[in-house]
Amino acid sequence: MEDFTLTTPLWRWQSATASAAWFFVTIAGDDADGIRVAAMTGQWLDGRKGFGSARVEARIGGTRWRTSVFPHRESGGWLLPVKAGVRKAEGLAEGDVVTVTVSL
């Protein structure tokens, strides 16, 4: 299992047509490249789903969860969604800088 640890801001995406909001961290730079290399070496090739997403395990503080990362065209990296239960458990709000570990 490969781990990638980075520190990055938590940000919110708000739909223009719905009241729901989603929270993400952006994985960019060397960490994004490392994830991409892991994908190309076959670790994810059979497990990639819609939108080019791939299953991962993520950890912020003491909270671990299984989710997917999604390619992010604007940064050339990946988006990691951070669900409400994780934000609540770790006391996180929009704009907070978080340290997250993504494991493949």
Please report the pLDDT score of residue 65 as a whole number: 97
Is position 47 within any domain?
Answer: yes
Is position 2 within any domain?
Answer: no
For 17-33, the pLDDT digits (tens) are 777 789 999 999 999 98
Is position 68 within any domain?
Answer: yes
**How far, rounded to the nearest angstrom, does the alpha carbon of residue 68 sit from its chain's CA centroid?**
7
Residue that the structure tokens 């969860």 belong to: 65
Is position 80 within any domain?
Answer: yes
Please report the pLDDT score of residue 1 as a whole number: 73
What is the DSSP secondary-structure string of 4-62?
EEEEEE-EEEE-SSSS-EEEEEEE-HHHHHHHHHHHHTTSSTTT--GGG-EEEEEEETT
Per the CB < 8 A criterion, the answer to whether 13 and 24 are in contact is yes
Tell me which residue range forms the domain holding 75. 21-88
pTM: 0.85
Look at the chain and report how many structural domains it folds into: 1
Please report the pLDDT score of residue 44 as a whole number: 53
Alpha-carbon span 54 to 47, nearest angstrom: 7
Please report the pLDDT score of residue 73 as a whole number: 87
Q: Which residue positions in the chain have pLDDT lower than 50?
A: none
